[in-house]
């Protein structure tokens, strides 16, 4: 129970940061396959599989809500005043994560022309999405007032953003920035936690979009991981490498755009903190793997409940 809460909490913190994906955290901490499989079982499974998936996702979801609530409260100020420090932390986070991911699935990362092609596609996809961020921070949506046209737009934004959050390397928050919805959504969540329910209708529309997006994408991801695991992992690795560019460009997406992260604004200390966070997650995962009757291989026993 506690472990699942922590997993969800860590995913939420990553999901709330443009340039970093909650899927990356799930991948590093070793529960990515189970997370994707549980959503698939909840939507398309039957009987005990659906019940098991529901219990697991409820635990994960509770941690996610707590993490997102905390993030939505503090992120606005932190992004404005400490954006380069935060960006440096996540540079270290991704840099520390990449070798661990390769070691975790080293049999799948044998150099192959097709794998390298998917690797390049992953990098290109993240770079292309990030390049669209140019004027994203200037767009504004008022989610405190219900508007039909804006609601339809927000629904599809939710679908696209949650699809990205499931993929390590592509940040759903970055896509929210692209569509000018990041600050409005974060603001709406903050007001809802403060019991300001004027934001509820539009936020609910966004939530329905998230649910529909989740239902449509998890089946594809699970199928790819089961049948085309090597190509999929190369693609994911490419997206993780591409996320360096997304993080470097993160300061340009603020409401008041700042210069991209550079050598002069980069913090080596913050980068080391990011690396340390990855290894802390790996240590926590190692303790879990050493418990009896639990798998040590990513992607096995996706539907089983933890003790």
pLDDT of 298 reads 39
Query: Which of 47-51, 162-166, 284-288 is predicted least confidently?
Result: 284-288
> What tokens appear for 154 in the block?
């927000």
Q: What share of the chain is helix, strand, coil (3-state, %, to 5)?
A: 75, 0, 25
- pLDDT tops 50 at residue 299: no
- C-alpha 212/C-alpha 219 separation (Å) is 12
- pLDDT-derived band of residue 98, with 50, 70 and 90 as boundaries? confident
- pLDDT-derived band of residue 300, with 50, 70 and 90 as boundaries? very low
pLDDT of 253 reads 66
Residue 193's nearest CA partner among 21, 14, 98, 67 is 67
Angle (CA) 174-254-124 rounded to 5° is: 35
> What tokens appear for 30 in the block?
């070793």
First to last CA, the chain: 9
- pLDDT tops 60 at residue 264: yes
**pTM of the model as a whole:** 0.68
pLDDT greater at residue 164 or residue 273: 273
pLDDT of 302 reads 38
> What tokens appear for 80 in the block?
């404005």
């Amino acid at each position: 129970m506690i472990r699942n809460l922590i997993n969800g909490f860590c995913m939420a913190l990553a999901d709330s940061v443009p340039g970093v994906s909650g899927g990356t955290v799930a991948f590093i901490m070793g529960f990515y396959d189970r997370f994707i499989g549980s959503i698939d079982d909840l939507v398309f499974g039957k009987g005990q599989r659906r019940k098991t998936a529901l219990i697991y996702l409820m635990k994960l979801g509770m941690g996610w809500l707590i993490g997102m609530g905390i993030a939505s409260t503090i992120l606005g100020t932190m992004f404005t005043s400490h954006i380069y420090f935060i960006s440096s932390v996540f540079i270290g986070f991704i840099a520390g994560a990449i070798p661990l991911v390769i070691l975790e699935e080293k049999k799948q990362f044998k150099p192959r022309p097709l794998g390298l092609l998917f690797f390049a596609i992953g990098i290109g996809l993240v770079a292309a999405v990030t390049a669209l961020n140019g004027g994203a921070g200037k767009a504004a949506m008022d989610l405190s007032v219900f508007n039909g046209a804006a609601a339809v737009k927000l629904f599809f934004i939710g679908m696209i953003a949650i699809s990205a959050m499931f993929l390590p390397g592509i940040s759903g928050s970055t896509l929210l920035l692209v569509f000018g919805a990041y600050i409005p959504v974060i603001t709406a969540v903050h007001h809802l936690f403060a019991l300001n329910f004027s934001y509820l209708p539009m936020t609910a529309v966004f939530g329905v979009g998230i649910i529909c997006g989740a239902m449509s994408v998890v089946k594809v991801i699970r199928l790819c991981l089961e049948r085309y695991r090597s190509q999929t992992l190369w693609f994911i690795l490419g997206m993780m490498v591409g996320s360096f560019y997304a993080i470097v460009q993160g300061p340009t997406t603020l409401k008041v755009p700042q210069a991209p992260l550079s050598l002069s604004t980069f913090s080596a200390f913050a980068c080391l903190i990011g690396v340390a966070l990855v290894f802390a997650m790996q240590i926590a995962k190692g303790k879990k793997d050493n418990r009896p009757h639990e798998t040590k291989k990513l992607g096995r026993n996706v539907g089983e409940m933890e003790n």
